[in-house]
Structure 1
Amino acid sequence: MKQSAFSKSFSRSGLAALTLGALAVGGCATIKPATDAETATSAQASLPVQPADWTSIREKVGDVRPGWIAEFNDPQLMELVEEAMANNRNLQAAAANVRRARAVIRQAGSAKLPSVDASGGVQRNQSFENSGITSFSAGLQANWEIDVWGRIEAGQQAAIESARVAEADYLFSQYSIAAAVAQSYFLVIEAEQQVEVAQGIVDALTEIRRIVRLRYRYGFASAYDVSLTESDFATSVDTLQTAKNGKLEALRALEGLLGRYPGADLKTPNALPAVPAPPGEGLPSELLQRRPDIIAAERNIAAAINNRKVSEAARLPSFSLTSTLGTSSTDLGNILDPANIVWTLASNILAPIFDNGRRDAQVDIADADVEATVALYADAAIKAFTEVETALDRGVFLGRRRIALETATKETENALRLSNLQYKEGEIDLIDLLSVQQRLFGAQSNLLALKRAQLNQYLEINLALGGNWRVIAPPEPKDEAVE
C-alpha cells in the first residue's frame, strides 16, 4: 500500500517540527559545564582564612624554584632519580591512569556525534512439504542523541577534569618518588657511616679489653673491671651488627624504589652531601595554584559539579534521531538493486514520567559527591599548609641542634683523649673511661642522624612547596592531549 502525499508531508513536517522544537527548548534551558570560577568559588569557600605570609620563624628567602635534586650536586643521586622515573612501578601505574583517563574523554565525547552500525544476515524459511526460501539482508543504521540539555557535554567535561586529576596525581607522584629516592639514598650513606662509627667503638673496646685482661692478670684490675669491659664490648658488637643490618635494609629499599631486584649491591659514596641553601618558600596563596595534589583536589570538585549537572539533565526529556538504510532479497546477486533498498528516518523523544525517585536520588548522590570533594580539597589544603609550616620550623631547629651536637662531639673527643691518658696513669677508674667512650659514640651517631635529618628536611620543604624536582618539566605519557 502506497503512502499518500498528505502522509509523506505530515511525516516530514512532524519530524522537522520535533527536531526544531527540541533545539529551541535546548537553547533556552541548556545546562552548561562547570566553569573554573564556579569551581574556585566552591573551593575557596571551604578554606580557613590564610595569612599573607608563612608564620614560621624562619627568615624569608624568596620565591619557590625548581631543580631541588640538582642542588645536592651529586651526579649519582640524579642518575638514580632518573632511573626511578623510568622503572618505578607505582609511577608506571600513575602514567597508565593518565592514559586511561584520556581514553575516557574520547569515550565520553563520542556521544556528541552519530554512531553508525552495519548489519547483515541470511535467513532460511523451510516447510516440511514445500521448498524453502533463502533471503539475504544488509543495512546501515545511524543513531544520534541530540544533546539538548548539555548532558553529554557536561559528562565529557567531567571526564576532562578527571583526566586533569590523573595528570596532577602523576606529576605529584614524580615529585614524591624523587624525594623518596633521595631520602633512601641518604639513609644508605648514613647507615654506612654508622657502621664505621660502630666499628670504631668495637676497635677501641677491643684494645681496652686487652689492657684490662692484662692488668687483671698482674693484679692491677679487678674481676668487676673485666666483667664491665666484656659487657660493653658485647654491647658494641650488637650495635655494629644492628648498623650493618640497617645498611642492608636501606639498600634493598632503595633498589626497590629504582625498580631493581633488591640484591643490596648498589655502591654509594661514604659521606653525606652538604645541605643546600634553604629554598624559596613563596606565599601560602601561591601554594594552592602550584602544588599538584591540591590542583588534583580542585579538579575533583570540577568533575563532581559536572557529574551533578549530568544527573540534573537526566531528569529531562531526551531527543534522538535514527536513520536506517537496508536491503533484502532472495537472490544474493540482486541485494544491491535500488528497487530493494529502503531507507527510514525517525525522531524520538523519551521523557521520564515515573521512576520511583531513581533520578532524584542520582541528583542527591551527585550533590553529596560535590560536598565530599569540597571537604577533601579543604583537608588537602590544610595538610599542605601544615607540612610547609612544620618543615620550615624544623629547618630552624635542626640548624640550632647541629651547632650543639657538633660542639658536644668535639668536646667529647677531647675528653676521651684525656681520659685515656688518665686511665693509663691510674688517675681514673675504668668505668669513667668507658662512660666517656659511650658518650662519644652517642654524640657521633646523633650527629650523623641529624645531618641526614637536615637533608631530609630540605627534601620535605621542597616537596611541601610543590616545586618541581628538576628544572625541565618531565615528559608526560605519550597520548592525546587533554582538550
Structure 2
Amino acid sequence: MFKVYPILLISVFLLSSCATTTSQQKINESVADELPDINEVWVNSTLNSEFNVNWSDRFNDAKLKTYIKEALTNNKDLAVAAANVDRSWALARQAGAALKPSIGLTAGTSNSGNFTGQSDASNSINLGAQVNWEIDIWGRVRSGVMAAQSSAEATELDFKFAKDSLAATVTRAYLLAVEANLQLKLNEKILADTAERVRIVQVQFDNGMVSSQDVSLIQSEFAAVQEQIEAVKGGQRNATRALEVLMGRYPSAELELTDTLPDIPELPSAGLPSDVLERRPDVIAAERRVAASFNRVDQAKAAKLPSISLTSTVGGTSGQLSDILDPANTLWTIGSNLLAPLFDGGSRDAQLEAATAEQKQALASYGQTALNVFQEVESSLDLGSELESRLKLLELSASEAQKALNIVQLRYNSGETDLLDVLTVQQRVTSAESNLISLKRNILDQRVNLHLALGGQW
C-alpha cells in the first residue's frame, strides 16, 4: 500500500516537467513586434547624449521642492493609487498561497442515544487535522501566481508614474500661480501709471489744454485696467486653490508664492528613443500587463487538463478528552483525487478565448503606449525650439513697443498727437509684457513636460 505513493509522486514530477509557461524571451519578442521602426535619434533634437534623470533640480526653487514633497505626502488621489498597490500585492500573495498545502484543524463533540431508553446515551469527542494539496502538474496555479505578480508589478509602476505625473502637475500649477502673481503686479503698475495720467489729463482739461474727450478716454482706460486687475486676481486665487488641493490642503487661496518665475534652464539631453521605453514607468507597466496576459492564457489552457489533489487526515475520537491522543483511538488517512473535466458547457473554452482576447488587447495597448511616448517626446522637443524662437521675437516686440511709447508720449506732451495714440501704444506695450510673462511660463511648462516624457525622476 505504501509503495504506491512514491510511484505517484515520481509520476507527478515527471508530468510537471511537461507543464509549459511562457518564457520572458517570448514576451519580449511579442512586445517588440508591436513597436514601429524606431529612429536612432530623436527627429526634433540634436541633444542625444545620455539623459539626466535628475535634471528637474535645475529649477533650483526651494519653495517648489517643498510643495512637491508635501503633495507626494498628502495628495488624496496618490493615496488611492498607493492603496491599490497594496491591494495588488495582497492578491498576488493570495494567489501564491495556492501553491502550498492547506492545513486545517477540526474539533467537535457528539451525543447519541435512542428514544426507548433501553440503552445508555454515549458521548464522544473528536479532534483532528486535515491537509489538502493540489499538485500543480500543468502549471495552472503557477501561471495564475505569475499573472498576479506581473499585475502587481504593473500597478506599482503605475503608482511610480503617478508620483512623477503629480510632481509635474504641481510644478505646472505652481508656475501658473506665480505667473498670475506677476500678471497682477504688472497690471497694478499699469493702474498706477494710468492713475497718474488721469490726474495730468484732468489738470490739462481744467486749464483748457485738452477736450472732455481726453478725460473720458483716460477714465475709460482707468476703469478697463481696474477690471483687468479683478480678472487677474480671480485667476490668481483659482490657480492657488488648485495648487493647494494638489497638496492636500484646504483651498483657501492663501499659499505663499515667489515673486519671480524660475530661470529657464537649457533643454536636457534627450538620450536615445529606445532608452525611453526602458525608463518610462508607464511603458514598463504596459509590458508587465502583457506578461500577465500571457500567464492567464497559460492558466486557462492548463485548466482544461486533469488535476490531482492529495488529501491526508489524522485524528482521534474518544469518549474522554484525556484518551483522545491514545494511539488506539487515532486514525489516519491518505488519499488522492483526480478530476478530469469532461463537459462544462463550454466554460473553459470561453475562459481561454477571453484570456486570448485580453492578451491581444494588452499587446495592442503596449504598442499604443509606446507610440504615445514617442509622440510626447518629439512634440515636446519640437515645441521647445518653437518657443525659444517666439521668445526672442516677443522680447524684440516688447522692446520696440516701449521705444514707440516713449516717442508717442513726447509727441503728446508737445501737442503733436492725441491721447488715443498714446493709449493705443500703451496697450501694445502692456500686451507684449503680459505675453512675455506667459511665454516664459509656457517654456518652463515645456521643460517640465519634456522631463516627464523622457522618464525623468523628481
Matched, 1:330 2:319: yes
Give 1:253-292 correspondences, 5 Å limit: 253-292=242-281
Q: Which moved more, 1:187-196 or 1:97-106?
A: 97-106
1:47 to 20, 26, 35: 35
Matched, 1:459 2:448: yes
- Give, in angstroms, the shift of residue 225 of structure 1: 2.9
CA deviations over 1:396-436 (Å, ceiling 9, x no partner): 11111111111111121222222222222221111111101
Paired letter, 1:297: A
- Give, in angstroms, the shift of residue 330 of structure 1: 2.1
- Give, in angstroms, the shift of residue 68 of structure 1: 2.5
Q: CA separation in 1, counterparts of 2:50 and 2:422?
A: 52
Q: CA separation in 2, counterparts of 1:402 and 1:415?
A: 20
Corresponding residue for residue 85 of structure 2: 98
Percent sequence identity over matched residues?
Answer: 41
Matched, 1:114 2:114: no
Q: CA separation in 1, counterparts of 2:61 and 2:400?
A: 32
2:395 to 398, 403, 406: 406
Q: CA separation in 2, counterparts of 1:246 and 1:376?
A: 38
Corresponding residue for residue 481 of structure 1: none
Is contact 1:175–1:468 with CA below 8 Å preserved after alignment?
Answer: yes
Q: CA separation in 2, counterparts of 1:100 and 1:35?
A: 26
2:405 to 400, 412, 416: 416
CA deviations over 1:224-257 (Å, ceiling 9, x no partner): 3333323322221111111111111111111111
- Give, in angstroms, the shift of residue 332 of structure 1: 2.5
Matched, 1:155 2:144: yes
Paired letter, 2:185: E
Matched, 1:85 2:67: no
Matched, 1:164 2:153: yes
Paired letter, 1:52: E
CA deviations over 1:252-274 (Å, ceiling 9, x no partner): 11111122222222212101111
Is contact 1:15–1:346 with CA below 8 Å preserved after alignment?
Answer: no
> Which runs of 5 or more residues in structure 1 are unaligned?
1-8, 470-483
Corresponding residue for residue 60 of structure 1: 47
Q: CA separation in 1, counterparts of 2:55 and 2:110?
A: 72
The alignment covers a number of residue pairs equal to: 456
Q: CA separation in 1, counterparts of 2:211 and 2:109?
A: 108
1:85 is paired with a residue of what secondary structure? helix
- Give, in angstroms, the shift of residue 280 of structure 1: 0.9
- Give, in angstroms, the shift of residue 160 of structure 1: 1.6
Give 1:359-378 correspondences, 5 Å limit: 359-378=348-367
1:231 to 201, 220, 228: 220
Q: CA separation in 2, counterparts of 1:50 and 1:390?
A: 16
> Which runs of 5 or more residues in structure 2 are unaligned?
none
2:267 is paired with a residue of what secondary structure? coil
Matched, 1:35 2:23: yes
Corresponding residue for residue 170 of structure 2: 181
- Give, in angstroms, the shift of residue 166 of structure 1: 1.6
CA deviations over 1:174-205 (Å, ceiling 9, x no partner): 21122112111111211110001111222222
CA RMSD of aligned residues (A): 1.7
Corresponding residue for residue 441 of structure 1: 430
- Give, in angstroms, the shift of residue 15 of structure 1: 4.9
- Give, in angstroms, the shift of residue 17 of structure 1: 4.5
Is contact 1:61–1:279 with CA below 8 Å preserved after alignment?
Answer: no
1:270 is paired with a residue of what secondary structure? coil
1:263 is paired with a residue of what secondary structure? coil
Q: Which moved more, 1:372-381 or 1:13-22?
A: 13-22
